[in-house]
Structure 1
Amino acid sequence: MYIIKVKGIAKIPDYVQLRDDKFTLLAYFRLDRPDKSLEKLGLTDKIPYIMSQINDLPFGEIKKIDI
């Protein structure tokens, strides 16, 4: 799974994209509201791990994580 952190501009908030190994979009959510999107993917128990990876990631970079 890949994480991409996207910086918002002006009124557009910061977003996160989660993509699979084929780079298909799995989830797209606001940085401050990840719960519903991650619950839909069945990743409720992984939220702390995913959020820690997102918080450490600079905007505009892609990071591969193993879940």
Structure 2
Amino acid sequence: MYIIKVKGIAKIPDYVQLRDEKFTLLAYFRVDRPEKSLEKLGLGDKLTAIMNFVNDLPFGQIAKLDI
């Protein structure tokens, strides 16, 4: 799975994209509200680990997330 953190501008908040190995979008959620999207994807139990990774990730970079 790949993760991308997108910087928002003005009234648009920061977002996170989760993509699979074929780069298909799996989830797209606000950095400050990840719970609902991660629960829907079945990753609710990994919320803390994913958000720690997101907080350390610079904006605009693609990183491989091994969960």
Q: Distance in 2 between matches of 1:12 and 1:65?
A: 25
Give the equivalent residue in structure 1 for 2:3.
3
Q: Deviations over 1:45-64 (max 9, x none)?
A: 10011001000000000110
Map 1:1-67 to 2 at 5 A.
Answer: 1-67=1-67
- TM-score, structure 1 length as denominator? 0.98
SS in 1 for 2:54: helix
User: Percent identical across equivalent pairs?
Assistant: 81
Q: Distance in 2 between matches of 1:18 and 1:4?
A: 7
Structure 2 unaligned runs (5+)?
Answer: none
Cα RMSD (Å): 0.4
Structure 1 unaligned runs (5+)?
Answer: none
1:36 CA displacement: 0.2
Moved over 6 A (4+): none
- TM-score, structure 2 length as denominator? 0.98
